[in-house]
Amino acid sequence: MFIVFKIMFLGCAIGRRGIIYTASSLWPCPKYYLKHYRIFTIAMILLLSTAIAAQAATVRAVVDRNQVMVGESLSLQVAIEGGDGDVDLSGLTDFKTVSRGSTSSFQMVNGRTSRKMIYNYTLIPLKAGELTVPAIPVTIDGKIHYTTPIRVRVSEEPPVANGQRDVYVSAAVSESSPWIGQQIVFTFQLFNAVQVAEAKFQPPEFDGFQAEELEDRKSYRTVVNGREFIVTEVRFILIPVKTGTLTVEPATLQVGLVQRRRRPRPFSGMDSFFGRTEMTTRVLQTDPVTVTVRDLPPKPPGTVFSGLVGRFEISAALDKTDLQVGDSTTLAVTVSGSGNIMDAAPPAIATPTDFKSYTDNPEESIRKEADGYAGSKTFRTALVPVEAGDYHFDPITLTYFDVDRGEYRTLNAAVFDVHVSPSATAATDIDVFRGTPTRAPSLKKRVEFTGRDILPLKTELDALQTGRRMSLPWFSLLLALPILGFAATGVVLRMTRKDESPGRVMAGRARQALKEASTHAAADSDFLSSLYRALVSAILSRIGVMGSSLTWSEARSRLIDLGWDEDSADAAARLLEKIESFNYSGGNLDADKRADLLDQTRQVVRRLAA
């Protein structure tokens, strides 16, 4: 006996005027029953949760059939009873898997509850043979459960005439041996005699071609072997970009076939009434298509190939042939036809040197038609004469490769004769800049590759020399070297810097002055000045101050401060006074006197220097 509960609002009570309503019992009950009702509800919840917890989870995988043909699909269901989990299909390497969603249900069977999750997949076999759906791991609450492996026999599709199949695909190109640059059309066709849905089309890679899909997909009905099919066409314009034998890989279409149920079900007679059908997924592939691309023959000498391949025409029109100097006329050159019209470059116009030309942007009108690109490209040039006269325009030529004839073809546009009369306006008023007469009109254009290849090998023996790259330690060392040099310079500077303290400077002066005094040639005044300077400098050097004069009393007190006894200080001070008095009295000094003074001064200086 099945009793299915939908658990909702259990134990939820609503009170109103002493009468109690519960969600599971909408009948009003007296208040005194409420206590018993709550106990019952709690007991039910505990019972249910215990039952759910006690039930161990199981997993199961089933397929709808074990025998399929290549391209057919089968359904796989992974059922998890007693919980939910993660299904890992990474082991199904022999099949392409498509998820079809999941369903869940909650059941109570004879007082036992269970939850069931079902995950649905469509499996498409990737090859024929005895394939196995391996044990699928399902992780439930951190524990891995495995399904039982299933064997599936996949047989090759028997060769059946296209008209006898329900659905099939084909692919073809409009020209199997085109010239390089010639546009061809690749047509993919889906023939279906039954209803199809959820079609997913994967076009080929088209290696070696420039490919563009024609936007409008055609659909029509046709009869094959007496059976009516709906044909859906997808077309691509292909332009081969390299020569040789090129293969267009198979195009793939994954499609769902809408069919009536295969297995009889109870009340199956009602299927047609209720529209009960099932969908099987199939993968259809076209055969590879081989295209042999021919290289263009060498162009005839003296011709300038425009790069156009196809069928083209050229026309030219000049809006005025009778002009005045300074008037403008427009030359329109139109290239039209089918092929790589978008690559058409401005044609060379041999403008007379007395004309100034101004080119306009080309006007394009290119359509994608059933057999490829077609349309026209118009190049307009404004021409302004700067000199009166009669001029002749040479024909404008276009050399293209005619794919029908298999040869280069040169077309000529119209020839013009233009009469230019003098302008009513003074020539100086015409605002036209005349180009250098000897220079040909500029026909510069962007240089494009006409062929692609790589540059040659490096044949020098340098290739055998391992390149030395600076390592990080070396870089750091080289970075640190100037810093070390800077530091070393600082050290050297400090070591070689002269001591320029006042004491040392004054001592130097004392020595210098004594040296000057020792010179025999010195005059008396110079001699005495030198002695005075020597004594004062020597005293001040000991004190460590700069200066140039001292009175005898200052000299005495400074010497006593330096630790000299009073007699010695007196003697030195008197010597200083004596030198000063000789200097200011201006009397002559004999040699003995000079020697005596020099000797005394030297002794004082030496004592102070000691």
- Summarize as ranges the residues that interact with other proteins (CB under 8 A): 90-91, 93, 452-467, 469-470, 472, 475, 478-479, 481-483, 485-486, 489-490, 493
**Reduced DSSP (H G I as helix, E B as strand, rest coil) percent helix, strand, coil of the chain, to 5:** 25, 40, 35
Nearer to other proteins by Cβ, of 211 and 388: the residue is: 211
Q: What is the smallest separation between the CB atom of 342 and other proteins, expressed in angstroms?
A: 20
Q: What is the smallest separation between the CB atom of 181 and other proteins, expressed in angstroms?
A: 18
* Contact (CB, 8 A) for 253 and 388: no
- Reading the block at residue 338, the tokens are 């089918």
DSSP class per residue in 45-113: HHHHHHHHHHSPPEEEEEES-SEEETT--EEEEEEEESS--EE--TT-TTEEEEEEEEEEEEEEETTEE
Distance, CA of 556 to CA of 560 (rounded, Å): 6
By the 10 Å C-beta count (0-12 exposed, 13-18 middle, 19+ buried), 577 is classed as middle
Nearer to other proteins by Cβ, of 424 and 464: the residue is: 464
Nearer to other proteins by Cβ, of 426 and 455: the residue is: 455
Q: Reduce the DSSP state of residue 331 to 3 states and report it.
A: strand
Nearer to other proteins by Cβ, of 7 and 487: the residue is: 487
Q: What is the smallest separation between the CB atom of 461 and other proteins, expressed in angstroms?
A: 6
- Residue 418: name the closest of 301, 519, 316, 487 by CA: 316
Q: What is the smallest separation between the CB atom of 410 and other proteins, expressed in angstroms?
A: 33
What is the torsion angle, in degrees rounded to the nearest 10, for the CA atoms of residue 50, residue 53, residue 54 and residue 58? Answer: 150
Q: What is the smallest separation between the CB atom of 500 and other proteins, expressed in angstroms?
A: 15
Distance, CA of 62 to CA of 429 (rounded, Å): 95
| Residue 599 vs residues 222, 258, 511, 529, 535: alpha-carbon distances, Å | 144, 138, 14, 15, 12
Q: What is the smallest separation between the CB atom of 465 and other proteins, expressed in angstroms?
A: 6
- Residue 341: name the closest of 306, 372, 313, 373 by CA: 373
End-to-end CA separation in angstroms for the chain: 131
Nearer to other proteins by Cβ, of 300 and 490: the residue is: 490
Q: What is the smallest separation between the CB atom of 128 and other proteins, expressed in angstroms?
A: 21
Which residues, listed in sequence order, are joined to residue 240 by a DSSP beta bridge? 209
Question: Token pair 């951190």 is at which residue?
Answer: 142
Distance, CA of 306 to CA of 410 (rounded, Å): 10
Q: What is the smallest separation between the CB atom of 457 and other proteins, expressed in angstroms?
A: 5
Q: Reduce the DSSP state of residue 577 to 3 states and report it.
A: helix
Q: What is the smallest separation between the CB atom of 486 and other proteins, expressed in angstroms?
A: 4
Q: What is the smallest separation between the CB atom of 132 and other proteins, expressed in angstroms?
A: 13
| Residue 550 vs residues 136, 534, 578: alpha-carbon distances, Å | 115, 12, 13
Burial 148-160 (b: 16+ CB within 10 A, else e): eebebebeeeeee
| Residue 295 vs residues 156, 217, 337, 339, 398: alpha-carbon distances, Å | 40, 32, 21, 16, 20
Q: What is the smallest separation between the CB atom of 359 and other proteins, expressed in angstroms?
A: 31
Nearer to other proteins by Cβ, of 415 and 487: the residue is: 487
Nearer to other proteins by Cβ, of 142 and 467: the residue is: 467
